[in-house]
């Protein structure tokens, strides 16, 4: 519960006026915030109550009740702040809108502390009527990274995308080594993982170039020439991501054919890649509107 305590103890950041459409409003009304307990998870419900997947300790229960009694406004703002970030800086809720809508707009946001003021937010959806009974069956949608000290993200947050994909690839490599028979793992490494790693290294190098050579934000200080060049670079990122996703999809199909249970880790990695591809499409669209002065 340290994460919930830390987040709600902060002075929350003001966000620009942000109008929710019907879909976004439905998510706001059905948004659960998830935090780790010593055992299991704690879910802050849309009604500002709490549910747990395991019995909390007496100290944890006391802390949760104290936060809900005294920091409800902070939690309300956290939800608004999260939805603002997801709508402006990511493509997660649009990419997964069908799955979210199919579960009556229920969205679960798990907060995991990273470094400094950065939190990883992993998103899931689930059938409300079956929420706690089969909580492990929730559908993974993707992950985002939210700062609690600044509303804006430099370079559209691609630093987070780069770091996360590299981290997820290393976790995938470790899980395959643990859960896949050695002979199958050798085949997967030779046929897919080596190429995926090389492509991701290329993606990271191009990301580094963008971080060092292009404007941080869309602003009056950014010239049309600079942003036109940046748009081409972001498009190259998208193309690399599409190549990686294609290789991962082939690997996923091979693992299904071999009936390897660890394929679920590959599927989650592929979802992260698809989300990143859609983010790059969004970035290209925003830059194109900027350089052409389109405000409609």
Which element (helix H / strand E) includes 99?
A: helix 97-102
Is residue 6 predicted with pLDDT exceeding 80?
yes
The model's pLDDT over 37-84, given as tens digits with 9 standing for 90+, comes to: 999 999 999 999 999 999 999 999 999 999 999 999 999 999 999 999
Is residue 296 predicted with pLDDT exceeding 80?
no
Three-class DSSP category at 89: helix
Matching residue, tokens 């046929």: 191
The model's pLDDT over 85-133, given as tens digits with 9 standing for 90+, comes to: 999 999 999 999 999 999 999 999 999 999 889 999 999 999 999 898 8
The model's pLDDT over 168-218, given as tens digits with 9 standing for 90+, comes to: 999 999 999 999 999 999 999 999 999 999 999 999 999 999 999 999 999
Is residue 14 predicted with pLDDT exceeding 90?
no
Distances (CA, A) of 22 to 30, 97, 212, 272, 282: 12, 12, 39, 26, 20
Three-class DSSP category at 1: coil
- Of residues 4 and 287, more confidence is placed in 287
Contact indicator for 220, 171 with CB cutoff of 8 Å:
no
Contact indicator for 148, 154 with CB cutoff of 8 Å:
no
- Of residues 133 and 272, more confidence is placed in 272
Q: Write the CB contacts of 71 (distance below 8 Å, at least 6 apart in sequence).
A: 8, 9
pTM of the model: 0.94
pLDDT of residue 58: 93
Instruction: Please tell me what DSSP assigns to residue 125.
Output: E
- Listed by start position, the domains of the chain span 2-147, 154-291
User: What's the maximum distance between 2 C-alpha atoms anywhere in the chain?
Assistant: 60
The model's pLDDT over 146-170, given as tens digits with 9 standing for 90+, comes to: 999 999 899 999 999 999 999 999 9
Three-class DSSP category at 279: helix
């Amino acid at each position: 519960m340290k994460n919930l305590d830390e987040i709600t103890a902060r002075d929350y950041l003001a966000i620009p006026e942000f109008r929710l459409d019907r879909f976004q409003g439905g998510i706001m009304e059905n948004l659960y915030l998830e935090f780790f307990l010593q055992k299991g998870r704690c879910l802050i419900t849309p009604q500002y109550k709490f549910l747990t997947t395991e019995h909390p300790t007496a100290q944890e229960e006391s802390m949760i009740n104290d936060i809900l009694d005294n920091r409800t406004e902070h939690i309300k703002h956290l939800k608004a702040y999260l939805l603002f970030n997801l709508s402006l800086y990511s493509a997660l809720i649009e990419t997964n809108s069908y799955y979210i809508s199919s579960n009556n707009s229920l969205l679960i946001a798990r907060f995991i502390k990273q470094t400094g003021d950065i939190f990883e937010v992993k998103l899931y959806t689930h059938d409300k009527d079956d929420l706690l009974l089969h909580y492990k069956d929730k559908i993974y949608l993707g992950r985002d990274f939210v700062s609690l000290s600044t509303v804006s993200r430099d370079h559209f947050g691609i630093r987070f995308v780069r770091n996360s994909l590299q981290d997820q690839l290393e976790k995938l490599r470790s899980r395959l080594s643990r859960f896949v028979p050695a002979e199958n793992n050798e085949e997967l490494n030779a046929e897919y993982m080596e190429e995926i790693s090389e492509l991701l290294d290329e993606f990271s190098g191009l990301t580094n170039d963008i971080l060092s050579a292009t404007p941080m934000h869309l602003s009056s200080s950014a010239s049309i020439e600079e942003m036109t060049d940046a748009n081409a670079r972001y498009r190259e990122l998208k193309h690399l991501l599409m190549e990686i996703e294609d290789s991962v999809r082939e690997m996923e199909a091979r693992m299904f054919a071999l009936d390897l249970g660890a394929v679920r880790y590959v599927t989650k990695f592929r979802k992260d890649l698809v989300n990143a591809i859609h983010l790059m499409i969004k970035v290209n669209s925003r830059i194109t509107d900027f350089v052409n002065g389109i405000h409609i």
